[in-house]
């Protein structure tokens, strides 16, 4: 629908017409030039002049054309299908789902979502089906569709959620109901399974460590089996220990403890295997493999604080989460020998009350890596004299809240996707109000966001000067990050990961190799993408990425996987995708100034058998989700009933979206040609009749 509008009252249009009439009257009313012409000519010429002048006058009012377009959009139906390994969809059920998709797509805008370890709008591959995160799929639907016209949500799953938070406590608010399709079998089958394996992921060379194995069985009373602990050596599994288990109950559960000697360093593969019984419903859950990283040294970390603070406990716990670190806490008034430690964390030091000059002098002389936490008690002038890569100026006694924003160009060490996501929703730290600047050579990991405005002020940065590595964190309150981490993930992994990556960078000895490639971590899950970074330096130790870098990954059988690393800014990156369970080595090579340079390392991919440990469907969770979100639960044989309920629901209606566009009438070329045609026709008639 289109309308012509002007900014002036409608009677101005009559003035335009009147102006055209007056103009024509002046030209043609009393003239005698056309007395010998046909009688209609003068009238025709007058009408042409009236039209042309009136249109020109009307255009002076700046008329606009306003068009309104209406679009009818059908409601969106979200169909989320569980594709984890615990789901074995029969052909009949697959046909039912396909029929449901076909019928709903005829009346609605159907969006099919698949979930397992990850969430995607395309069917998942086998590596992404090793876990189930129901909470993640609910968050995905809310983040991507909550602001649209959702008619209904269908969640088809067995309810087994073994990753992430309990979906019942998800706080997403949908305008549509969530209906669940109850897949799987709630009946316990005869089965013997490894429920859990507990072990230390990081141990030390020549230490002993315990492995606890939880075994359960159902309806296999009177049977006996053996549990073996095995280690992989030269591509073959070698038995380290075995224990017998006698099953004396219908619902049987026990745990066994094995002791392992860490007699070699590196990432060592182990597995626990239970001899299967002939009556078991499945043997997939009778084996559980795991990897242990054996280190050959420990590092001592000192936290030196101005005064007691919640940050100190949070930092200490994060440090101790890394089995390669020991941690001591001291205060400024205590006697301190900093040279006994590999890294020193200075919390709110130096301060006006505690300048700790002697300690700082020893740190500088012995080149001890230091991480400063600059809080409200820190003496900024003194801190500026100690390090010059971050300067604090115009600071006052007032404080402000600052949020972290990750610097995508940071390259001092690898930041994986989980850690990048961790930075997005953290609570603020408290810092002194002032101006903060970093030098060109500083490696800034986090910048400050103040009142939701991203700034160039550094928040977490690192520097190396004459062999001394230093880091600085602007703001106190990291204990809140640790709490937020647990609230979201039910663990402290990402806070620990951040602290330990910072310490690892500071404690690492200077690597003067001109070319090196690094893998983001040593142990991956099957559902993880294996990521690499590469660094190449010229003779002046400036980072460059002019030549190409080839990277080869080799599996245990000697099969090679060839890649070319991508160039990003002045370094190299590679996302090699997912790999099957096993141990791998990698080598990267490049040719620079006629010299062939190479670098490499190892990594392992561990299987995630958590989907196989419990195959009993959790319909109670699905029923709770439906109840919470005003929906209903349906069994697979009731899918046609679900379809009818959706099709007959009066609340599921299309939405009409209206959009308007405005354009000036002067922009339309046909107006020009119309005026030209009127004036040209008038001129032609006057000339033709010889009275011009």
Report d(CA 494, CA 580) in Å as an integer. Answer: 25
Chain position carrying tokens 């096993």: 582
The alpha-carbon radius of gyration of the chain (Å, integer) is 37
Separation CA 512–CA 539 (nearest Å):
11
What value does the mean pLDDT take over residues 31-58?
82
Q: Which helix (H) or strand (E) holds 28?
A: helix 12-28
How much is the pLDDT for 498? 94
Position 126 pLDDT exceeds 70: no
Q: Calculate the alpha carbon distances from 665 to 55, 63, 520, 585, 678 in Å.
A: 11, 6, 60, 69, 18
Residue 164 is given by DSSP the state S
Pairing of strands 390-393, 191-198: unpaired
pLDDT digits (tens, 9 = 90+) for 556-612: 888 999 999 999 888 899 999 889 888 899 999 999 988 899 998 888 887 766 656
* Confidence band of 103 (pLDDT split at 50, 70, 90): confident
**What is the pLDDT, as a whole number, of residue 503?**
92
Query: CB-side exposure of 30: number of CA atoms within 13 Å?
Result: 2
Over the stretch 237-263, which tens digit does the pLDDT of each residue have?
999 999 999 988 888 999 999 999 988
Q: How far is CA 454 from CA 410, 435, 459, 495, in A?
A: 16, 14, 11, 22
pLDDT at residue 91 is higher than 60? no
Q: What is the pLDDT of residue 89?
A: 52
C-beta of residue 82 within 8 angstroms of C-beta of residue 156? yes
Average pLDDT over residues 467-485: 92
H helices of 67-150, where? 91-105, 134-145
For residue 580, what is the DSSP state? -
Q: Which of 200-209, 232-241, 377-386, 572-581 has the lowest mean pLDDT?
A: 200-209
| DSSP line for 268-329 | EEEEEEE---TT-S-SGGGEEEEEEEEES--EEEEEEESS--HHHHHHHHHHHTSTTEEEEE
Between CA 321 and CA 478 the distance in angstroms is 16
Averaged over 448-461, what is the pLDDT?
92
Q: To the nearest whole number, what is the mean pLDDT of the chain?
A: 86
Q: What is the pLDDT of residues 615-648, one digit of tens each?
A: 677 888 889 889 998 889 998 888 888 888 888 8
pLDDT band at 147 (very low <50, low <70, confident <90, very high): confident
User: β-strands 208-218, 251-261: how paired?
Assistant: antiparallel
As beta bridge partners, residue 582 has 605
Contacts of 386-389 spanning 24+ positions with Cβ under 8 A: 386/350, 386/360, 387/463, 387/470, 387/472, 388/439, 388/465, 389/438, 389/439, 389/441, 389/442, 389/461, 389/463, 389/465, 389/470, 389/472
| Residue 308: exposure state from Cβ atoms within 10 A (0-12, 13-18, ≥19) | exposed
CA-CA distance, 104 to 644, in Å (whole number)? 10
> Which one, of 562, 548, 551, lies nearest residue 592 by Cα?
548
pLDDT at residue number 320? 92
| DSSP SS3 for 14 | helix
286/194 Cα distance (integer angstroms): 6
Encoded tokens for 540: 């002046």
- As a whole-number percent, the residues of the chain with pLDDT over 70 amount to 95
* Residues 273, 231 contacting (CB under 8 angstroms): no
**Paired strand residues for 208:** 261
Q: Rounded to whole angstroms, how far apart are CA atoms 76 and 148?
A: 8
Instruction: Name the token pair of 136.
Output: 């993640």
Q: What is the C-alpha to C-alpha distance for residues 113 and 136, in angstroms, rounded to an integer?
A: 12
pLDDT per residue over 293-327, tens digit each?
887 777 899 999 999 999 999 999 999 998 778 89
3-class state of residue 173 by DSSP: coil
Is 506's pLDDT higher than 70?
A: yes
User: If you count DSSP H runs as helices and E runs as strands, how many of each does the chain have, helices first?
Assistant: 14, 38
What letter would DSSP give residue 569? T
Mean pLDDT to the nearest integer, 463-491: 91
- Cα–Cα dist 430/402, whole Å: 6
Residue 551 has a pLDDT of: 95
| Residue whose token pair is 């050959």 | 296
Contact yes or no for 493/500 (Cβ under 8 A): no
pLDDT above 60 for 92: no
| Cα→Cα distances 45→33, 595, 670, 678, 689, Å | 12, 90, 21, 9, 12
The tokens describing 126, both together, are 């086998």
Mean pLDDT is highest, among 259-263, 391-395, 658-662, for 259-263
Residue 238: name the closest of 269, 207, 266, 206 by CA: 269
Six-digit token string for 406: 């990750």
∠ CA 632-635-637, nearest 5°, is 130
């Amino acid at each position: 629908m289109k309308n012509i509008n002007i900014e002036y009252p409608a009677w101005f249009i009559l003035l335009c017409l009147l102006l055209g009439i007056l103009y024509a009257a002046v030209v043609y009313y009393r003239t005698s030039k056309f007395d010998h012409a046909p009688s209609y000519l003068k009238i025709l010429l007058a009408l042409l002049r009236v039209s042309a002048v009136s249109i020109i006058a009307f255009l002076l009012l700046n008329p606009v054309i306003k068009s309104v377009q209406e679009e009818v959009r059908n409601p969106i139906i979200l169909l989320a299908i569980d594709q984890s390994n615990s789901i074995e969809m029969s052909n009949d059920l697959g046909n039912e789902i396909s029929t449901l998709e076909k019928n709903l797509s005829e009346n609605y805008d159907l969006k099919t979502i698949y979930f397992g370890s990850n969430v995607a709008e395309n069917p998942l591959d086998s590596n992404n089906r090793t876990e189930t995160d129901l909470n993640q799929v609910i968050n995905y639907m809310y983040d991507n569709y909550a602001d649209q016209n959702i008619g209904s949500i269908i969640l088809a799953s067995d309810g087994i959620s073994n990753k992430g938070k309990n979906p019942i406590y998800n706080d997403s608010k949908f305008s549509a109901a969530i209906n669940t399709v109850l897949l799987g079998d709630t009946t316990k089958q005869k089965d013997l399974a490894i429920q859990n394996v507990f072990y230390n992921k990081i141990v030390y060379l020549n230490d002993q460590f315990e492995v606890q194995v939880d075994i359960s069985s159902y309806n296999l009373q009177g049977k006996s089996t053996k549990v073996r602990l095995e280690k992989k050596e030269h591509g073959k599994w070698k038995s380290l220990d075995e224990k017998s288990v006698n099953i004396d109950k219908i619902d049987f559960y026990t745990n066994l403890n094995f002791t392992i000697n860490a007699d070699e360093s590196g990432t060592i593969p182990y597995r626990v295997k239970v001899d299967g019984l002939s009556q078991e419903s499945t043997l997939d859950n009778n084996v559980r493999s795991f990897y242990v990283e054996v280190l050959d040294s420990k590092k001592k970390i000192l936290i030196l604080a101005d005064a007691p603070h919640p940050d100190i406990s949070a930092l200490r716990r994060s440090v101790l989460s890394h089995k390669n670190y020991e941690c001591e806490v001291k205060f400024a008034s205590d006697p301190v020998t900093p040279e006994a430690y590999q890294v020193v964390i200075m919390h709110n030091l130096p301060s006006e009350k505690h300048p700790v000059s002697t300690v700082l002098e020893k740190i500088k002389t012995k080149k001890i890596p230091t991480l400063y936490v600059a809080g409200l008690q820190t003496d900024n002038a003194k801190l500026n004299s100690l390090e010059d890569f971050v300067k604090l100026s115009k600071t006052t006694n007032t404080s402000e809240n600052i949020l972290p924003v990750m610097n995508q160009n940071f390259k001092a060490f690898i930041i994986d996707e989980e850690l990048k996501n961790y930075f997005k929703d953290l609570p603020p730290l408290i810092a002194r109000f002032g101006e903060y600047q970093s030098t060109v050579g500083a490696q800034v990991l986090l910048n400050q966001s103040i009142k939701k405005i991203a700034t160039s002020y550094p928040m977490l940065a690192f520097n190396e000067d004459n062999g001394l590595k230093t880091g600085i964190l602007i703001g106190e309150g990291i204990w809140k990050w640790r709490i937020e981490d647990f609230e979201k993930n039910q663990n402290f992994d990402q806070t620990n990961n951040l602290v330990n990556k910072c310490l690892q960078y500071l404690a690492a000895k200077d690597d003067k190799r001109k070319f090196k490639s690094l893998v983001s971590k040593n142990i991956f899950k099957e559902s993880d993408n294996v990521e690499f970074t590469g660094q190449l330096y010229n003779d002046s130790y400036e980072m460059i990425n002019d030549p190409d870098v080839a990277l080869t990954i080799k599996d245990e059988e000697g099969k090679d996987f060839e890649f070319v690393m991508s160039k990003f800014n002045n370094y190299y990156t590679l996302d090699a995708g997912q790999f099957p369970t096993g141990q791998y080595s990698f080598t990267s090579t490049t040719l620079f100034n006629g010299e062939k340079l190479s670098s490499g390392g190892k990594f392992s991919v561990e299987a995630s058998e958590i989907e196989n440990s419990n195959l009993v469907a959790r319909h109670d969770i699905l029923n709770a989700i439906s109840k919470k979100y005003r929906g209903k639960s349906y069994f697979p044989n009731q899918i046609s009933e679900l379809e009818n309920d959706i099709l007959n629901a009066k609340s599921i209606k299309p939405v009409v979206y209206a959009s308007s566009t405005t354009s000036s009438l002067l922009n339309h070329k046909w107006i020009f040609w119309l005026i030209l045609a009127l004036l040209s026709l008038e001129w032609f008639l006057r000339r033709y009749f010889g009275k011009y």
